[in-house]
Chains A and B, each alone.
Chain A
Amino acid sequence: MRAQRRKGPASAVVDGVSFSLNRGETTCVVGESGSGKSVTARAIMGLTRLEPALSVSGEIWFDGKPLHQMDNPSVARLRGRDIAMVFQEPMSSLDPLFTVGSQLTESLRRRHGKLPNQNLRTRLLALLSDVGIPDGERVLRSRPHELSGGMCQRVMIAAALAGEPDLLIADEPTTALDVTVQAGILALLERIRTERGMAVLLVTHDMGVAAEVADQVLVMYSGRIVENASADEVFESPRHPYTAGLLSCVPALEGEKPSVLPTIPGSMPSPEQRPPGCAFHPRCARSADRCSTETPLQTQKPGLEYACWNPIEPTFLPMPTADVPTHTAQAPKEDAR
């Protein structure tokens, strides 16, 4: 997978977003609603082509192929095979009139064509047991309304896996689910990523979810990527004030409890009302004169990019459990389990 660059129309919902995804890694796109994370995800899938209001420019390279130059039928052939997507609302992504079995069969045929019945059944059951559904026989005969939300999301993931994709895009896959069910789905995504070595792009608004599963984190604000770094960097030493702000306003379950939660004043501007310069500067405590006039450039260091004129300097001192890294700028990477 190669780098991509995308620019939108005048009031761009997503503006100058470039990043690359690596095989076998989970990349989380985090940001608040309206930051452009879903549009970015859908653009990779080529789904933005179906929306007349959106024009997408720039380059999207997938496995050496220029998706941005391909015509719609060619992109459609990739969809559900090489690139698959899981959406937020599992219940509304499945067709209520068809059984799970027939919907999964459709997904299987995208890669394997027509399969003999016996073979098909074995594959369907294998898929379901892969996503942690033990009583596959029953589920295959069920229609979506007979299943719980967590079960439906497992079915959606099974459908996405049926095409044996190289890239799985999951747009808020656990947002509609309870935390206990969410934990199961996240564990499942992580297991199949390591087993199949595919790349996962997970869009989420929940910093907690990103902390649990991400190898790489892209932080988006008002249509731009403000920080792109390894998860360890982002969570332990965020450079962009917005990233730091996002992290500090999430209340913790352990440790000291602040009497008042830290907040970021104001709210995110819509694309039409995006201020000049850095879009975050009206809400930023570190903003300087320059921030309101000049759009910050991406500062690139190995494994670390951020768009800020006045970034937070990394401090490695207050790290309670780990050894303090002395000569590397990068925190030790935890193994992906």
Chain B
Amino acid sequence: MTTLATEPALLTLTDVSKHFSIPSPRALRPTERKVLRAVDGVSLSIAPGETFALVGESGSGKSTLGRIAVRLSEPTSGTVTFSGQDVTHYSGRQLRRLRPRMQVIFQDPLGALNPRMTAGKIVAEPLQAIGGLRGSALDDRVDELFRAVGLDPAQRLARPRTLSGGQRQRVGIARAIALNPDLILADEAVSALDVSVQAQIANLLDELRENLGIGYLFIAHGLPIVRQLAQRIGVMYLGRLVECGPADEVLRNPRHPYTRALIGASPVARRRARRERVVLAGDPPNPLSPPSGCRFRTRCPQAMDLCASQPPPTVEITPGYTAECHLLQ
């Protein structure tokens, strides 16, 4: 989307890194620690009412980046700007004021919902704690939220255990939209659901985006669902954002060899569409000791000598579309 230039961004991450210091596996001396660069110099921005999808393999840093984006964790360096405010180092009371505007939907709804509470109580909790609603106003709002996510208000008394997977995820979504957030982090929110239910929830998320103008940071590993929902895509590999641009462009004409491999490896439920299966050599390298130069070079079919010695430049393909690869120069 080209809204970027005209509209102020909802969320901007600038050169964000998150490093974890972990004990070196071989050392018996506890002083010897290694640095894991889970996220390393990532910049991206999300416009209001836009779905930005982060894709990549497990361990690529997508969830870590997502947690930084909603300030569940503080970046090691870089800045997080949320509707014009620098929220990078917010803490305590400041964060608490920010929370209603950024919410999270998790992958496993059963784990994210308190088993002892009824669905109605779960949705009502943020309304009481932060919205300050009570009595019939609270009841009405909960009913309204239930209907907004396609649940029967009669199910307010049900506990998470007795609901189906799709219904649980709807409860999680109702809770997330209760305080009219501007940004929702959906971390693999549809990945654990069966396909028929996944489509229902995906449609619901998209409908809420259109009606309520919510922006999503949508973390997923399945490309087809990302294509359906996202306006823009960021592809992560070992902590780096290797390609970032408009969803249709990135999926139709990927510039980075890793994005091409991801697309080629995605199974397609059409017989005629069976393509040459791209099989990447090996597994992702250990993030504790990433390869020199380009981090993807050890698995890249097009790696050159240059890739080992120098990190690839960030190349702007069109405004708002970047990729990191030596081949693009």
User: A243-261: which have CB < 8 Å to B?
Assistant: 245-247, 249-254, 257-258, 260-261
Q: Which of A210-238 contact B (CB under 8 A)?
A: 210-212, 231-232, 235-236
Kindly list chain A residues whose C-beta atoms are within 8 Å of the C-beta of B194. 32-33, 205, 267-268
Q: Which stretch, A2-10, A165-173, A315-323, touches the partner chain B?
A: A315-323
Type the 1/0 row for B196-213, where 1 means its CB is closer than 8 Å to any CB of A.
Answer: 111110110010000000
How many chain B residues touch A (CB < 8 A): the figure is 44
Stretch at the interface among A43-51, A78-86, A87-95, A179-187: A179-187
In the bound complex, CA of A267 to CA of B263 (Å): 30
| Known contacts A151-B283, A263-B203, A264-B196; is-contact A179 B262 (Cβ 8 Å) | yes
Stretch at the interface among B45-53, B72-80, B83-91, B217-225: B217-225
Residue A208 CB within 8 A of the other chain = yes
Q: Which of A180, A182, A211 contacts B269 (CB 8 A)?
A: A211
Could you say which of B1-9, B121-129, B134-142, B272-280 contacts chain A? B272-280
Given contacts A180-B265, A183-B277, whether A320 and B283 have CB atoms under 8 Å apart is no
In the complex, chain A residues whose CB is within 8 Å of the CB of B328? none
The reply to whether A246 and B262 contact each other, CB–CB distance below 8 Å, is: no
Closest chain A CB from B328 CB (angstroms) = 21
- The answer to whether A250 touches B195 (Cβ under 8 A) is yes
- Chain A nearest CB from B37 CB (Å) reads 19
- The docked-state distance in angstroms from the alpha carbon of A32 to that of B200 is 14
CB distance from A277 to the nearest CB of B (A): 20
Q: A272 on the interface (CB 8 Å rule)?
A: no
Residues B56-115 near A (CB distance < 8 A): 57-58
Specify which chain A residues have a CB less than 8 angstroms from the CB of B269 in the assembled complex.
Answer: 207-208, 210-211, 235, 247, 250, 252
Contact pattern, B 223-241, Cβ under 8 Å of A = 1, otherwise 0? 1110110000000000000
- Please, how many angstroms separate the alpha-carbon atoms of A146 and B206 in the complex? 41
Which residue of chain A lies nearest to B198 when distances are taken between CB atoms in the complex? A249
Number of A-B contacts (CB under 8 A): 140
| Given A182-B265, A183-B265, A249-B195; A232-B271 close (CB under 8 Å) | yes
B272 touches A261 (CB 8 A): no
B164 at the interface (CB under 8 A from A): yes
In the complex, chain A residues whose CB is within 8 Å of the CB of B251:
253
Q: Measured between alpha carbons, how far is A321 from B223 in the docked complex, in Å? A: 24
Contact between chains at B200 and A263 (CB < 8 Å): yes
B267 within 8 A of A: yes
Interface size on A, residues (CB 8 A): 51
Of the candidates A181, A182, A184, A320, the one whose C-beta lies within 8 Å of that of B272 is A320
A22 CB to closest chain B CB (Å) equals 19
Q: Which residues of B from 246 to 284 have beta carbons under 8 Å from A? A: 251, 261-274, 277-280, 283-284
B181 on the interface (CB 8 Å rule)?
Answer: no
Q: Is the CB of B283 within 8 A of A181?
A: yes
Complex Cα distance A179/B280, Å? 10
- B291 within 8 A of partner (CB): no
The complex places the Cα of A32 from the Cα of B202 at a distance, in Å, of: 17
Query: Given A179-B221, A212-B274, are A267 and B227 also a contact pair (CB < 8 Å)?
Result: no
Contacting pair A32 B195 (CB below 8 A): yes
Q: Cβ of A254 and Cβ of B283 under 8 Å apart?
A: no
Contact of B277 among A149, A186, A261, A268 (CB under 8 A): A186
CA distance A63 to B300 in the complex (A): 45
